[in-house]
Amino acid sequence: MLRLRFIGIRLASLVGLLLVLSAVLFTLQELSGADPVAATIGGNAPPQAVEAARERMGLNRPPLERYLSFVGGLFTGDLGTSFRTHRPVAEDILASLPATMELVVFAFVLALILGILFAVSSMLRWPGSSVFRGLLFVGSTAPTFLLGILGLVVFYKMLDLLPARGRADTDGGPTGFLVLDGIITGNFDLTGSALQHLLLPGLALAVGPALSIGRVLRSSLIDTYGSDYVRTATSKGLDERNILFKHVLRNSVNAALSMSALQLGFMFGGVLLIESVFSWGGLGSYLGASLPVSDFPAVAGVTFVLGALYITVNTAADILQSMADPRIAVS
């Protein structure tokens, strides 16, 4: 019962946070001064056409009614029409989202791998691990976009090892996730090209989160090593590697899981800058083209989608942690 109550509270918090986000977006829209009518029918339209458009778009209604309509649209997928593309914002986002999601997922997997290597190598004192940890630490101090630029200078300009822009050298497939499309269609040239294009932006996006995850995991490993059952296992003559992987690691992941979810949420913000550096055709590029022309429906739609993803990821992490450790649901 306590676990179900905890899950219910977290789901209610998710809805509440989404409502707060929608209220913030609506308020910013009201304060932005953007004129949807002028953007839709032109600034030189006759007064009669302007008034008809305002009535049709619901702009003459009271603010509360407009807010409720705005919220209803957000929660039903009606994000309005883009002033720039003149298409439904939801369609534009669906077209751009796979590129962003593929990059974020790839970077997150890299961050998990690097974070685990950071923690485990420091515990087992592998040869050369201090150099790896030092490079990860130095890389994490630089802004994400700067890491991307440095990666371009070194691996594209100087060494000519990795591509500089775009998602692949060949056309994609049905899902929009190019690595998956290549596997599904048997086009392994597409898969290889997509992975090559993912490596530089993915690594730039992963370095900072990897250090955060690795530090938390390392701290949990150190705490777990002080447990009685670990001392018992050591006294029985088990070697350090077996103790770490069979007993310590699985009991130390809760804090790292929470940090991983937090870093995954942050990645959805950092990816917008990385996409502009690498000309990645995702939500960052869409948002970058919408901001200069004050395309508020597009900006609000992207913001709401990324915010909803961030909130959902952290809620899911909390629920998974409560399932793994029932004590969390009690606290």
Q: In whole angstroms, what is the distance from residue 116 CA to residue 131 CA? A: 15
Reference 67, options 22, 36, 28, 37; nearest CA is: 22
Predicted local distance difference test score (pLDDT) of residue 115: 92
What pLDDT score was predicted for residue 261? 82
**Given this structure, which CATH class describes domain 89-330?**
mainly alpha
Number of Cβ within 10 Å of residue 12's Cβ equals 10
First-to-last alpha carbon distance for the chain, in angstroms, is 14
- Residue 331: its pLDDT value, please? 52
Locate 237 and state its tokens: 């003559």
CB 285 within 8 A of CB 276: yes
Cα separation of 220 and 216, whole Å?
Answer: 6
| Other residues' Cβ atoms within 10 Å of the Cβ of residue 159 | 9
What is the pTM (predicted TM-score) of this model?
0.82
State residue 319's pLDDT score. Answer: 79
List the pLDDT tens digit at each of the 331 positions of the chain: 657 787 888 889 988 999 999 999 888 877 776 667 666 666 666 777 767 777 776 677 788 888 888 888 888 888 888 888 888 999 999 989 999 999 999 999 999 999 989 988 887 777 777 888 888 888 888 888 889 999 999 999 888 888 888 888 776 678 888 888 888 888 888 889 999 999 999 999 999 999 999 999 888 888 887 776 667 766 666 666 777 776 677 777 777 887 888 888 888 878 888 998 898 888 988 988 888 877 888 888 998 998 888 888 888 877 777 776 665 554 5
Report the distance separating Cα 248 and Cα 253, nearest Å: 9
pLDDT of residue 81: 83
Domain limits, the chain: 2-76, 89-330
Residues in the chain: 331
Give the type of residue at 259.
Answer: M
pLDDT for the residue numbered 112: 93
